[in-house]
A = this chain, B = another copy of it.
């Protein structure tokens, strides 16, 4: 008899994350934003008026540089970000969020916040904290981007 699949953590994590992602995606649809695009805008918003490279944005959004390249192309077309050659590095392109990008980011964050609040409602404040701590540990172990984790990039 095979092991009980439905109780394994990767399966449970996937089911929850998928369901949540789907809800967020539907909320984001009114703004024509994908997850990767929202993540890019959000990280650029925190950096504003600074800039980030496409590779770094991909890393922070958890997608490949190729995916992020396509995402940025769409943001550029809509004037939500602008791009300029890096002052010293030749091939590198600095991406920066615009005023209208910041404005859209604000509205999109509000829409996703509503989904988040609803999804986390069944958890106690202690569970919130515990879940955050666990995910944080896993992010570090998996070498995934984490804000202020002594990021020296």
- The answer to whether A105 and B10 touch across the interface, beta carbons within 8 angstroms, is no
Given contacts A18-B62, A130-B130, A137-B123, contact A147 B4 (CB under 8 A): yes
B145 engages A6 (CB within 8 Å): yes
* Interface size band for A: 35 or more
B144 touches A16 (CB 8 A): yes
Q: Given A7-B147, A46-B5, A14 and B19 touching (CB < 8 A)?
A: no
For the complex formed, measure the closest distance between the CB of A138 and the CB atoms of chain B, giving whole angstroms. 5
B131 close to A60 (CB less than 8 A): no
B2 touching A45 by the CB < 8 A rule?
yes
The answer to whether A24 has its CB under 8 Å from any CB of chain B is: yes
Residues of B within 8 A of A141 (CB): 119, 121-122
Q: Which A114-133 residues have a C-beta within 8 angstroms of B?
A: 115-116, 119-123, 127-128, 130-132
Among residues 91 to 135 in chain A, which have CB atoms less than 8 Å away from a CB atom of chain B?
102, 105-106, 109, 112-113, 115-116, 119-123, 127-128, 130-132, 134-135
Closest beta carbon of chain B to A42's beta carbon, Å: 3
Residues on B with beta carbons closer than 8 Å to the beta carbon of A14: 17, 20-21, 35, 62
Nearest first, the 7 A-B pairs at minimum CB distance are A5-B42, A17-B17, A6-B147, A122-B141, A12-B135, A2-B45, A19-B142
Q: Which residues of A contact B (CB under 8 A)?
A: 1-21, 24, 35, 39, 42-43, 45-46, 60, 62, 102, 105-106, 109, 112-113, 115-116, 119-123, 127-128, 130-132, 134-142, 144-147
